[in-house]
């Protein structure tokens, strides 16, 4: 896959990519000496453990251990393949794409690009068909969709008939295999003919966050079932991990929350009235994958579902998922009989935005939800309500807010505030929990607490940092007895091998460029970058002896275990094993007397 670009092109793209600027689009970074520090964009945390080194173009999170260079960041953030990440960075830097060879049509990358193009051609076909079909035109007018939004969303029409789209796409040069893979066309295996998946429906193209059309949603004009029909999943479309209109909404979230609604028309109507920070799930319940996708762009979410029982229950389920993933959700409740589409058409943008401003926080909504479902005059139901309300309060993970909810629940139930507080503490899984990483701000410098490392791990990282300084440093390390066997950590040993290979082939190692193909090695490099520097020749010798000490101790433990097992089974201990054991014991005593253990 990586062979589609030359190494020179890859290095040009990486050199032109400002990793600090790119990462700053996804989390706030604060400079601390040569590094930048912020909250990790890949996992939920309250205190920063994420670092970026602009000079070396590397990042690392001490909390979730993700790290690498600008390419691996883009791959992780957008779930891109390596070629997609390089193309993305090249486009950002205005560098023309340079490919060194043509790929076989069966490669996954080429197939995905073809599917994107098929979907784009299909969307154009549907859009033009919608401008000519009276039924589609009449429906759009009835729903009050402007010509501008019609074009923005590419809303169109799938003509009735067996294979209208199929014939159009065949004329475009696509093969039957490609069209079947796109899921826009199916084959009747019995009679052998091909037919369109969508027929006589209003069509909504579905785009991913990179603006590629990945699927379609089709709506009936009447109430026949299924009312809505989505494309089947393909290699470019995963329904439970896609949100309609997030590609546009993500650019509006700097100062606004993301509003999540239920349907395509809800999104279109709100967008048409100037409320662009809105998205929708695709006929599926909100899930953890949706939450993780949202968290890449904002933690502030407003759920706006229908006001009926099903909508309220969906909001409750969604709140639990969003809170568990570290987001800050609220719920906008409309009057009964209204949905976002009908409400904004009837009352306008300002009225809807006022409703959004009054949206209830997760805990308040849950307490109200339970209050309306329990009879608080019944002692049994009162006790159950109290338990549920305390569990909702405990989810906030904020002991300061708990005092507020203690007063609310105590007032509603007539229960002693101390009892309520104890119940919240009992319900919480977070009481006094400390973050894995802590931050201390001292003027302009920020110090992150790094997880404790064993002496051997620390020594391995120090040694790797030393040999990365240049080929002469590597050769000096080897001349003093250093080699791969001293690295017990598999990732460290793999990095040693890669450094050795690059010195032998190139005479140098550029860690920002040479390791882009292996994300795990790139992550190890960032750990190395944070290691201590070797200060002298004596320090280097001590590091090598520390590594050898760790190696011998590990081998001794293995031998001791084998000897004990043999003796336990009344067997005869191998003489060579005993000899090695004695030798290692003597070497350990010698090393310990010489080395200043780090």
The pLDDT value recorded for residue 304 is 93
- pLDDT of 442 > 50? The answer is no
> Above 80 in pLDDT, residue 441?
no
Can you list the positions of beta strands (E) in 424-484? Answer: 439-442, 445-448
Asked whether the beta carbons of 446 and 37 are under 8 A apart, the reply is yes
| Residues 154-165: tens digit of each pLDDT | 999 999 988 999
> Which residue would you say has higher pLDDT here, 325 or 40?
40
Question: Using a CB cutoff of 8 Å and minimum separation of 24, what contacts does 410-419 make?
Answer: 412/367, 412/371, 412/376, 412/385, 413/376, 413/382, 413/385, 413/386, 413/389, 415/386
Q: Long-range contacts: 182-186, Cβ < 8 Å, 24+?
A: 182/115, 182/118, 182/119, 182/122, 182/234, 183/215, 183/231, 183/232, 183/233, 183/234, 183/237, 184/118, 184/119, 184/122, 184/216, 184/231
The CATH architecture that domain 246-358 belongs to is 3-Layer(aba) Sandwich (3.40)
What per-residue confidence (pLDDT) applies to 397?
65
Largest Cα span, the chain: 94
Q: Give percent above pLDDT 70 in the chain.
A: 88
* Full-model pTM: 0.60
Domain 108-237, classified CATH 3.10.450.50, yes or no: no
The CATH superfamily assigned to 451-598 is DNAb Helicase; Chain A (1.10.860.10)
Residue 510 pLDDT > 90, yes or no? no
Band the pLDDT of 598: cuts 50, 70, 90.
very low
Instruction: Respond yes or no on whether the N-terminal peptide bond of residue 562 is cis (omega within 30° of 0).
Output: no
Q: Does residue 56 surpass a pLDDT of 80?
A: no
DSSP string, 161-204: SSSHHHHHHHHTT--HHHHHHHTSEEE-TTT--EEES--SEEEE
Q: What is the pLDDT of residues 209-257, one digit of tens each?
A: 889 999 999 999 887 888 889 999 998 998 888 999 999 998 888 889 9
Query: Please, are residues 585 and 556 in contact by the beta-carbon 8 Å criterion?
Result: yes
Is a pLDDT exceeding 60 seen at residue 430?
no
Q: How far apart are CA 126 and CA 149, in angstroms?
A: 15
C-beta of residue 6 within 8 angstroms of C-beta of residue 12: no
562 CB-near residues (< 8 Å, 6+ apart): 577
Side-chain half-sphere exposure of 80, counting CA atoms within 13 A: 21
Closest to 92 (Cα-Cα) out of 71, 108, 111, 119: 71
Compute CA distances 106 → 75, 111, 147, 177, 580, whole Å. 22, 7, 40, 11, 55
pLDDT in tens, 564-576: 777 777 777 677 7
Q: How far apart are CA 28 and CA 37, in angstroms?
A: 8
Residue 548 pLDDT level (bands cut at 50, 70, 90): confident
**What CATH number does the domain located at 2-92 have?**
3.90.580.10
**pLDDT recorded at residue 360:** 92
Whole-number mean pLDDT of the chain?
83
Mean pLDDT to the nearest integer, 192-207: 95
């Amino acid at each position: 896959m990586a062979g589609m670009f030359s190494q020179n092109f890859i290095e040009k793209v990486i050199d032109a990519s400002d990793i600090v600027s790119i990462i700053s689009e996804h989390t706030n970074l604060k400079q601390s000496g040569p590094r930048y520090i912020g909250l990790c964009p890949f996992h939920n945390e309250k205190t920063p453990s994420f670092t970026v080194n602009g000079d070396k173009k590397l990042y690392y999170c001490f909390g979730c251990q993700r790290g690498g260079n600008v390419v691996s960041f883009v791959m992780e953030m957008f779930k891109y393949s390596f070629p997609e990440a390089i193309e993305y960075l090249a486009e950002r830097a205005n560098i023309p794409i340079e490919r060194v060879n043509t790929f076989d049509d069966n490669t996954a990358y080429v197939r995905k690009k073809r599917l994107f193009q098929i979907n784009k051609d299909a969307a154009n076909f549907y859009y033009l068909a919608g401008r000519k079909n009276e039924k589609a035109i009449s429906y759009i007018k009835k729903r009050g969709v402007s010509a501008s939004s019609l074009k923005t969303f590419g809303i169109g029409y799938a003509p009735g008939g067996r294979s209208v789209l199929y014939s159009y796409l065949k004329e475009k040069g696509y093969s039957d295999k490609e069209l079947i893979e796109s899921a826009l066309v199916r084959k009747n295996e019995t009679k052998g003919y091909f037919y369109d998946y969508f027929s006589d429906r209003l069509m909504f193209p579905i785009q991913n966050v990179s603006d590629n059309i990945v699927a379609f949603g089709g709506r009936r004009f009447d109430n026949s079932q299924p009312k809505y029909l989505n494309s089947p999943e393909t290699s470019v479309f995963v329904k439970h991990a896609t949100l309609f209109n997030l590609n546009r909404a993500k650019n509006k979230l700097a100062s606004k929350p993301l509003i999540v609604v239920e349907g395509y028309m809800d999104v279109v109507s709100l967008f048409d009235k100037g409320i662009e920070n809105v998205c929708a799930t695709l006929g599926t319940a909100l899930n953890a994958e949706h939450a993780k996708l949202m968290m890449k762009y904002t933690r502030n979410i407003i759920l706006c579902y229908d006001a009926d029982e099903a909508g309220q229950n969906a909001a409750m389920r969604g709140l639990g998922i969003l809170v568990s993933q570290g987001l800050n959700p609220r719920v906008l409740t409309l009057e009964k009989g209204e949905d976002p589409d009908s409400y904004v058409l009837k009352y306008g943008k300002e009225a809807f935005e006022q409703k959004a401003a009054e949206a209830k926080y997760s805990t308040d909504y849950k307490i109200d939800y339970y209050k309306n479902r329990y009879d608080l005059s019944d002692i049994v139901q009162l006790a159950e309500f109290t338990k549920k309300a305390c569990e909702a309060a405990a989810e906030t993970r904020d002991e300061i807010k708990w005092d507020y909810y203690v007063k609310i629940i105590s007032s509603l139930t007539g229960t002693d505030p101390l009892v309520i507080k104890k119940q919240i503490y009992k319900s919480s899984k977070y009481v006094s929990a400390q973050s894995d990483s802590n931050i201390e701000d001292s003027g302009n410098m920020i110090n992150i607490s790094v997880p404790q490392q064993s002496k051997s791990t620390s020594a391995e990282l120090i040694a790797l940092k030393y040999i990365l300084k240049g080929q002469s440093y590597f050769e000096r390390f080897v001349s003093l007895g250093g080699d791969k066997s001293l690295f017990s950590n598999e990732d460290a040993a793999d990095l040693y091998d890669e450094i050795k290979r690059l010195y032998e082939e190139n005479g140098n190692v550029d860690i920002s460029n040479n390791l882009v193909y292996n994300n795990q090695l790139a992550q190890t490099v960032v750990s190395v970058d944070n290691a201590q520097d070797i200060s002298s020749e004596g320090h280097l010798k001590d590091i090598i002896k520390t590594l050898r000490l760790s190696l011998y101790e590990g081998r001794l433990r293995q031998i001791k275990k084998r000897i004990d097992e043999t003796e336990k089974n009344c067997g005869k201990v191998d003489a060579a094993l005993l000899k090695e054991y004695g030798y290692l014991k003597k070497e350990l005593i010698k090393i310990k007397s010489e080395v200043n253990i780090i």
